[in-house]
Structure 1
């Protein structure tokens, strides 16, 4: 564990990274300079989460998948939630780096639709029984984080509302977060959150659940 600070347990094991949900699996993918990289280490975290390590000559990256600590209105409840936090630190400048969360084949949702809000990109998926949201921070919030020195590459320049609102790409039933350049020793951090519950009319609890700060996600595993 190089990029997160906290306690960790377990041994290394090469394995694909994904989030298991009642509607199917959501895979988490990392592309650096248009090449797909898979984790070559895996560590069990103390409170049930998993840390995947991508340790290569060109860069170090880590992906934490864990149960986030949710801050939602007190009357709202979700059945479950999982989140994924990527951190990438190049050993030499990389000229493109994409983070992807997308559904694997075999999903069993029947309907979907965009459901974004301020600082949030989100899609709702549902079938007769289950409602699920997949969310991530939007371009406006990523620019705010860059201004505040919060693990966003200096190369990110979104000057207009159109650029900010269209930065996150909707792809094949998922999201892609693309960065053009990450300098040597810069750290880039992004996250995805999934929350699901019973499909009850007008219930917006899962939408609120995917609108979280990264620190809320990591809090349950005592990571910073």
Structure 2
């Protein structure tokens, strides 16, 4: 009887799990934080706190999706099937982040456009959102078949640029030098650097 290694056991367990629990559990904090804001449990500036929390969750899911490939390359744990729900959850929270900013924070369309044009950190954040739109639209298996795997992979490399823009947006949007955005920047830098490291599991 063959004994499975721990990466093989984790991979086998992941293959048995459906995607929908990741979507459901990952989406639950969205309405929960909105309720906290409505009930006055997000501090003295609930709109700003809600906006920041949604943006933070978007970055967290985006980086979690970027962890999948290096995890597979360097440890043999294959969680690729969960990369799509993680990416879509990142887009979901980015949409919530944008909606809170537009509808609850700025509220005036002309002012929102002025912010996008004149404030660099808003410009970068919006650019990151625009880059993620085609990735979300083409996240289905039908889109992969229509585009072909090679073209689909080339398009979805935009996620790295979107992540960079998101982290820079986070850093610039905070007043003064704060450690939290730098943690996200460091995590992204490590993930990007790992792409340059030759994998010993090239044929995996």
Decide which structure has greater helix share.
2
Per the normalisation by structure 1, the TM-score is 0.26
Point out the structure with max Rg over C-alpha.
2
Relative to the length of structure 2, the TM-score reads: 0.28
Between Structure 1 and Structure 2, the one with more strand by share is 1
